[in-house]
Amino acid sequence: MAKKKKNKESKPENEAASSPAKWLVPLLVAVAAGVFVTLLLGPKETVIAAGSGNWSYKVVQKFRHDPGAYTQGLLVHNGVLYESTGLRGQSSLRRVDLMSGIVQQHLDLDKRYFGEGLHFHRGVLIQLTWQAGEALVYNNETFAHLRTLRYEGQGWGLTGDGNQMVMSDGSDVLRFRNSSDFSVVREVKVTENGKKVDNLNELEWIEGRIWANVYGTNDIVMIEPEDGRVVGRLKLNGLLQREDRNGREDVLNGIAYDRATKAIYVTGKRYSYLYQIEVTEPKPRG
């Protein structure tokens, strides 16, 4: 079972960092080019405006999280946490008490499904499945299955702002979908400084921007919905402290935003904790 998922689900957390030569060279070239352009153009603002910038963060509070939850989708609605978990035979939809981490309601998915992104939209929960091409629609109170929407390709992340709904499939493309029949309304290619950003995974719509976990990394990118431009990057290296580890963690995945309190929560697959974080924009230089 693990073999089948190697492309997506069995990638070790630190794989991206295991071969530094691959990214170190382009990074050094990029840094050198940036310095050169800065010198060439004079005012530093010109260069900063073109880049996305790394945001900083601090952990405000941490809450228990079921270390058996292979987190694929996460959201907060009316102060309640909803979670979608993956793996075939272990996939579920959950309502979780945020403060205690206790799972208050749990629905096992049929074994043919691998649970993915989760979104609350106009009174219903919509849960993606990885390869089945089916989005399962539920009553958010009872978890009663209401209907199934269908889509082409893989399902990874799903979020929205109450009007628009947007989905990722592990590539660099985000597709905006019609909520009634799930048809594609439009799509954007996600780029950062002109280069494509793929492996977009779990999503969350936060204050006008789409935040996305980048699969296989500890990074979250902040995306402009209109044109797919990455306008910020949040590197969550160091989030998982030694004392928080259970030894079974997989990648960082899961972002939830409480619109009422403006609290941002992040976690990972089989993490023992859910973290409330505060983020800070990079300071303009000069």
Query: What is the C-alpha to C-alpha distance for residues 135 and 45, in angstroms, rounded to an integer?
Result: 44
Interface region with Ca ion, contact rule CB under 5 A, candidates 14-22, 29-37, 62-70, 252-260: 252-260
- Using an 8 Å Cβ cutoff, are 200 and 156 in contact? yes
Shorter beta-carbon distance to Ca ion: residue 113 or 211: 211
Shorter beta-carbon distance to Ca ion: residue 47 or 65: 65
Local structure of 229: helix, strand or coil: strand
74 binds Ca ion (CB under 5 A): yes
Shorter beta-carbon distance to Ca ion: residue 9 or 258: 258
Shortest-Cβ-distance residue relative to Ca ion: 204
Q: Which of 169, 172, 192, 204 binds Ca ion (CB under 5 A)?
A: 204
Tokens for 71?
Answer: 């987190």
Shortest distance, position 219 Cβ to Ca ion, whole Å: 16
From residue 188, give the alpha-carbon distance in Å to each of 57, 111, 158, 176, 255.
27, 33, 15, 8, 21
Interface region with Ca ion, contact rule CB under 5 A, candidates 77-85, 199-207, 212-220, 276-284: 199-207
Q: Identify residues 121-180 at the interface with Ca ion (CB under 5 A).
A: none
Strand (E) or helix (H) holding 71 = strand 71-77
Shorter beta-carbon distance to Ca ion: residue 47 or 250: 250
- Using an 8 Å Cβ cutoff, are 165 and 176 in contact? yes
Q: Identify residues 254-283 at the interface with Ca ion (CB under 5 A).
A: 255
Interface region with Ca ion, contact rule CB under 5 A, candidates 24-32, 41-49, 66-74, 162-170: 66-74
Cβ-count burial of 282 within 10 angstroms (0-12 exposed, 13-18 middle, 19+ buried)?
middle
Query: What is the C-alpha to C-alpha distance for residues 233 and 282, in angstroms, rounded to an integer?
Result: 10
Shortest distance, position 256 Cβ to Ca ion, whole Å: 5
Shortest distance, position 203 Cβ to Ca ion, whole Å: 6
- Using an 8 Å Cβ cutoff, are 111 and 92 in contact? no
Shorter beta-carbon distance to Ca ion: residue 158 or 197: 158
Shortest distance, position 257 Cβ to Ca ion, whole Å: 7
Q: List 107's β-bridge partners, or say none.
A: 93
| Contact residues for Ca ion, defined by CB under 5 A | 74-75, 204, 255
